[in-house]
């Protein structure tokens, strides 16, 4: 490892967080961003974004179209290099890491536009998620030695267990592209979970889901947090989901956080009502 990288890997803690759930206090926030920002030419898409997430916190980011929500996800996963600011994952600076390295460090995400391998089966899509935890050994793989089969069987079982979360074991052999839309969204979440994240970023997980599916998703988001003991940050336009499942909500307008608080605080914040909720007719 180069000395520059070694320096980046130093464990740091940024500002003292004030919105972290009580149960997570005393532990280093799993995800921190400070003064994060990015300009695209003359456009400041995100400016001075700050977050400190507890290890089992569920938070939401809301805001009108074009407010910068997806850009923040791209900054938190190093898809975009920030113009300003810092992101720490579990206390380690992600600057200079590749997208894959950031995933291995512990951030997984889903996308606004579903990105599955549509020609592969449902189980194969989950296996892709396990990717880096499979100990690839050319010798055992090429000659199909016992180690190869043992590992394959283990990951097959683990994939089916994950599929059980969304009651999708029955689809294991179906082509991902043939699943109904809501099921494809659920599979994307499972594939992200298969990478073993500490933080899960969900970009509009309820998009295209009917009210019953959204209600079920809400329960499953909580279940995933409880079973896997991870933090979840979601972007969502469905206010029922955001207000129903998030402990902390941040409101973004023109790339800046204009309000942050509990769902109740956000729904009663005049700035939010004026800038966003009023326009969208929430409740």
Ligand X SMILES: Nc1ncnc2c1ncn2[C@@H]1O[C@H](COP(=O)(O)OP(=O)(O)OP(=O)(O)O)[C@@H](O)[C@H]1O
Among 69, 97, 185, 198, binds ligand X (CB under 6 A): 69
* Position 68 contacts ligand X (CB under 6 A): yes
Q: What is the rounded CA–CA span in Å between residue 110 and residue 206? A: 11
231-235 and 58-62 beta bridge pairing = parallel
Distance in Å, CB of 67 to ligand X, minimum? 4
Q: How many residues bind ligand X (CB under 6 A)?
A: 12
State the binding string over 120-159 for ligand X (x if CB under 6 A, else -). Answer: ----------------------------------------
Among 29, 37, 63, 129, binds ligand X (CB under 6 A): 63
Cβ neighbours, 10 Å, residue 138:
7
* Position 45 contacts ligand X (CB under 6 A): yes
* Position 70 contacts ligand X (CB under 6 A): yes
Task: Closer to ligand X by CB, 59 or 71: give it.
Answer: 71
Q: Which two tokens stand for residue 84?
A: 């300003």
Strands (E), the chain: 31-40, 43-53, 58-62, 84-89, 92-93, 107-109, 199-203, 231-235, 248-253, 256-261
Q: Are 85 and 34 in contact (CB under 8 A)?
A: yes
Task: Closer to ligand X by CB, 29 or 250: give it.
Answer: 250
Distance in Å, CB of 239 to ligand X, minimum? 13
* Position 117 contacts ligand X (CB under 6 A): no
Q: Which stretch binds ligand X (CB under 6 A): 60-68, 103-111, 225-233, 265-273?
A: 60-68
Distance in Å, CB of 237 to ligand X, minimum? 7
Q: Which stretch binds ligand X (CB under 6 A): 69-77, 101-109, 130-138, 147-155?
A: 69-77
Q: Which stretch binds ligand X (CB under 6 A): 3-11, 17-25, 64-72, 260-268?
A: 64-72
Interaction residues for ligand X, span 87-116 (CB under 6 A): 112
Q: Are 73 and 235 in contact (CB under 8 A)?
A: yes
Q: Residue 70: CB partners within 8 Å, gap ≥ 6?
A: 112, 203, 235
Strand-pairing partners, residue 89, are 31, 92
Closest by Cα among 223, 198, 280 to 272: 280
Q: Are 108 and 197 in contact (CB under 8 A)?
A: yes
Task: Closer to ligand X by CB, 24 or 204: give it.
Answer: 204
* Position 81 contacts ligand X (CB under 6 A): no
Distance in Å, CB of 66 to ligand X, minimum? 4
Among 5, 11, 13, 40, binds ligand X (CB under 6 A): 40
Q: Which value, in Å, is the radius of gyration of the alpha carbons in the chain?
A: 20
* Position 71 contacts ligand X (CB under 6 A): yes
Q: What is the rounded CA–CA span in Å between residue 48 and residue 38? A: 9
Sign of torsion over alpha carbons 259, 263, 265, 269: positive
Positions in the binding site for ligand X (CB under 6 A): 40, 43, 45, 63, 65-71, 112
């Amino acid at each position: 490892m180069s000395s520059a990288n070694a320096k980046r890997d130093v464990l740091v803690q940024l500002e003292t967080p004030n919105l972290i759930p009580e149960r997570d206090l005393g532990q280093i926030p799993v995800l921190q961003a400070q003064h994060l920002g990015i300009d695209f030419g003359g456009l400041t898409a995100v400016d001075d974004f700050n977050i400190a997430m507890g290890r089992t916190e569920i938070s939401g980011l809301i805001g009108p179209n074009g407010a910068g929500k997806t850009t923040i996800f791209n900054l938190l996963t190093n898809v975009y290099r920030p113009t300003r600011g810092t992101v720490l994952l579990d206390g380690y600076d992600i600057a200079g890491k590749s997208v894959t390295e950031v995933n291995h460090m512990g951030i997984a995400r889903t996308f606004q536009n579903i990105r599955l391998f549509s020609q592969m089966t449902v189980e194969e899509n989950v296996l892709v998620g396990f990717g880096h935890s499979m100990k690839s050994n050319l010798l055992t793989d090429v000659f199909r030695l016992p180690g190869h089969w043992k590992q394959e069987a283990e990951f097959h079982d683990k994939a089916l267990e994950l599929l059980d979360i969304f009651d999708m074991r029955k689809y294991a052999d179906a082509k991902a592209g043939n699943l109904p839309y809501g099921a494809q969204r659920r599979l994307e979440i499972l594939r992200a979970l298969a990478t073993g994240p500490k933080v899960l970023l969900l970009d509009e997980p309820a998009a295209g889901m009917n009210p019953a599916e959204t209600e079920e998703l809400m329960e499953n988001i909580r279940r995933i947090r409880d079973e896997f003991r991870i933090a979840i940050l979601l972007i969502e336009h469905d206010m029922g989901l955001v207000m129903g499942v998030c402990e902390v909500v941040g409101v973004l307008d023109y790339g800046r956080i204009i309000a942050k608080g509990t769902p109740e605080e956000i729904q009663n914040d005049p700035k939010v009502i004026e800038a966003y909720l009023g326009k969208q007719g929430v409740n």
